[in-house]
Chain A
């Protein structure tokens, strides 16, 4: 968990804070976890640490940028049905590979949205990002995924 948080924050004290916050989040969800040794549980713990780390990172950025939300003025042109079509044609392994090629800020919103079934509001709270920003990042992430999947298909 520390490693995951440190990779994002590059600061051991902040990473330790992220680990503590993740620890609390994990302890609240113990009943949802399967066995302690399973890869799913390990991945969940790492994701919890990463999510907290990204939240802390976001707070730090906001402090520097005086509260300006990220990506606020970016335009997104995106066909949702096209994304669904290309996903339907692709196998999960290929989609997983493309998810891991996404830039981290987009990868996290995709994972929280689809793996944890989080709403935009909850993702926004978990990552400490503006709700509109999360919406746009989610759209953009899907757009990027679509493009990657199309490229892989070709």
Chain B
């Protein structure tokens, strides 16, 4: 065992030993002051809703789309005509080995080796869902015109993602997002000003690979 690892374990053992010496709550004579209780209330509220006031519309869109797309990936089915989007109407196309030229405009140009398009769905509001599979796992690409979404309908779902520290937008506006493990592994979302895109996978596709997919979509958009 390396010295630092041994010292780390020893430190943890030392901490737990110290913790075990602390008397039971009932034996500690402490009546919290009024100021303490008041401040605790404020702190608890700020922890329960830590990021809401910092959410920009773009970030809200990213959170919302992650939530929606993750749900889609988990359930394996897009929102029905009377589903999440209410007035949206979706239609599916059966997939053939050759995609139509019109559809290529919204496709990522890059998809990791072994994955083929297995499902595609479009809504009249311009949302697109593309599903790729390699037989064992899926990559789901999802896009929608951000301006047409009523974000308030996602409040409950966004709350889930506010607990994550990993939602951020870097210089290129790509946001690797930590999704709950049961929904997906890695995921990435970004907003280019008019549309929000999400790429999710339920396998071990790396964030680097997801970034390549994202960049290939952006290349498409700027072609």
- Whether the Cβ atoms of B16 and A40 lie closer than 8 Å is yes
- Whether the Cβ atoms of B15 and A95 lie closer than 8 Å is no
B139 smallest CB distance to A (angstroms): 25
Q: Chain A CB within 10 Å — which of B16, B18, B22, B164 has the most?
A: B18
A1 closest partner in B (C-beta)? B22
B208 smallest CB distance to A (angstroms): 22
Q: What residues on A are CB-neighbors of B47 within 8 Å?
A: 27
A1 smallest CB distance to B (angstroms): 10
Partner of B11, one of A28, A88, A111: A111
Q: What residues on B are CB-neighbors of A47 within 8 Å?
A: 15
* A110 vs B16: C-alpha distance when bound (angstroms): 15
* A96 vs B16: C-alpha distance when bound (angstroms): 10
Partner of A16, one of B12, B17, B35, B165: B35
A98 smallest CB distance to B (angstroms): 8
Partner of A95, one of B10, B19, B33: B10
- The verdict on B114 contacting chain A, using a C-beta distance below 8 Å, is no
* A88 vs B165: C-alpha distance when bound (angstroms): 38
- Whether the Cβ atoms of B15 and A43 lie closer than 8 Å is yes
Partner of A46, one of B7, B10, B22, B36: B22
Residues of B near any A CB (own CB < 8 A): 3-4, 6-20, 22-23, 28, 30, 32-33, 35-36, 39-40, 43, 47, 50, 163-165
15 A-B pairs in the complex with CB atoms less than 8 angstroms apart: A3-B28, A16-B35, A23-B43, A43-B16, A46-B15, A46-B19, A87-B3, A92-B13, A93-B13, A95-B6, A96-B9, A96-B10, A100-B14, A111-B11, A114-B7
